[in-house]
Amino acid sequence: MTETPTNIAAAPETSLLADVLSRVRLTGALFLKGEYGAPWALESPASHDLMAMLAPGAERLIVFHIVTEGRMWVEAEGTRVELRAGDMGILPAAHRHAMGSLLPCAPRPIGELLPPAPWPDIPTCRLDGGGEPTRVVCGYFRCDEPLFNGLLRQLPPVFGVRPGGPTLDWMMATVGYALHRGAQPGEDALTARLPELLLVEALRLHAEQSARPDGWLAAIRDPVVGRALALLHRDPGHSWTVPELARLAATSRSVLGERFAQLLGISPMQYLAGWRMQIAADLLRTTRLKMHEIAERSGYGSEVAFSRAFSRHLGVAPGALRRAQD
């Protein structure tokens, strides 16, 4: 356990995003290049079919499309976004979606235009209507983390982000490097981190550019909840109480609880419990710390209480999770 934290400034949004993602095991890869000429339109497979093809057994698949030339739209679950060169479209739940040129036409199932999987290299999908050219790079992130997947569920079915300046240059260089490396994820230390880096940047841009962000991205921008989250993330092992958290976040207990419920759908202590389990799961996978040490870092006074809470939150005992990594 730790002493009461004092004089903690609210963390920048990017720091909180990076903190969450640093505890999340993301993998990913580019899986498709598209070269199209207007008019063109394509329809993706259903979510479960896409997951079975790209990441069998994944808890969640996040699909993204980066436009490197031209213009296009992406639509999922009744939400449509328009993208231009340099934009990135994100589908947090890999819903069945359609995409195409601004000049309309009937969509074709993309499976008709691709060779059978698995692919030895990143395939190219071509559909040429003879008009304005569009080039797209498609990829995915795989995530099996219950807490982070809960945060993703609060995002819209599809959203677009528009980098600019050095951010755009970095993203395009990142994609170029990944294309050069090929289709397989995590082949070296840099490519292993590319999914995390891209997703951090995309979520940061979405939080900045969305007039009314929802869920966790709205929470980190909220002056009350954002400060409380910064405190919890700075010292998750501290013996937090709602009165203490409210006092340090410069608000009342009732306002703090209301804002958490409104933005995140859970109480501050429920959020803390979930975050502690995320930290514990990461420590179990990536360190050889003894169980009582992980329990202490996760804010639990005993190994028994920690094991009980871990099993309740994640549906597996901490020892079983560690053995699965060996």
Per-residue model confidence (pLDDT) at position 57:
79
Residues 176 and 238 in one domain: no
Per-residue model confidence (pLDDT) at position 137:
93
End-to-end CA distance of the chain: 29
Considering the domain boundaries, does residue 207 fall inside one?
yes
Residues 168 and 307 in one domain: no
CA distance 102 to 97: 16
The enclosing domain of 199 has a CATH number of 2.60.120.280
Per-residue model confidence (pLDDT) at position 11:
42
CA distance 160 to 156: 10
Per-residue model confidence (pLDDT) at position 244:
97
The enclosing domain of 308 has a CATH number of 1.10.10.60
**Coil, strand or helix: which one is 177?**
helix
DSSP letter for 42, please: E
Per-residue model confidence (pLDDT) at position 121:
84
Residues 153 and 246 in one domain: no
Per-residue model confidence (pLDDT) at position 14:
65
Closest CA to 296 of 236, 231, 230: 236
Give me the residues paired with residue 82 across strands: 73
Per-residue model confidence (pLDDT) at position 187:
53
The letter for the amino acid at 288 is R
**Each residue's pLDDT expressed in tens, for the chain with a length of 326 residues:** 444 444 434 345 667 777 776 676 677 788 899 999 999 999 999 988 888 888 887 778 899 999 999 999 999 999 999 999 999 999 998 999 999 999 999 999 998 998 877 777 889 999 999 999 999 999 888 876 655 666 677 788 999 999 888 888 888 887 887 777 765 544 555 555 666 677 778 887 887 777 666 677 788 888 999 999 999 998 999 999 999 999 999 999 999 999 999 988 899 999 999 889 988 988 998 889 999 999 999 888 899 999 999 999 888 899 998 888 76
Residues 21 and 159 in one domain: yes
Task: Compute CA distances 268 → 96, 215, 274, whole Å.
Answer: 34, 14, 10
**Coil, strand or helix: which one is 25?**
coil
Contact at 8 Å (CB) between 34 and 74? no
Containing 21, the helix (H) or strand (E) segment is: helix 13-22
State pLDDT tens for residues 64-85.
Answer: 999 999 999 999 999 999 999 9
Per-residue model confidence (pLDDT) at position 194:
67
pTM for the predicted model, two decimal places: 0.76
The letter for the amino acid at 313 is H
The DSSP secondary structure of 237-266, one letter per residue, reads: TS---HHHHHHHTTS-HHHHHHHHHHHHSS
CA distance 301 to 308: 12
Domains of the chain: total: 2
State pLDDT tens for residues 148-191.
Answer: 666 677 788 999 999 888 888 888 887 887 777 765 544 555 55
CA distance 197 to 272: 24
Per-residue model confidence (pLDDT) at position 190:
53
Residues 152 and 284 in one domain: no
Range of the domain at 259: 222-325
Q: Burial of 14 by CB count in 10 Å (0-12 exposed, 13-18 middle, 19+ buried)? A: middle
CA distance 99 to 65: 10
CA distance 165 to 21: 24
Among the candidates 155, 190, 212, a domain finishes at 212
Among the candidates 194, 212, 230, a domain finishes at 212
Residues 202 and 76 in one domain: yes
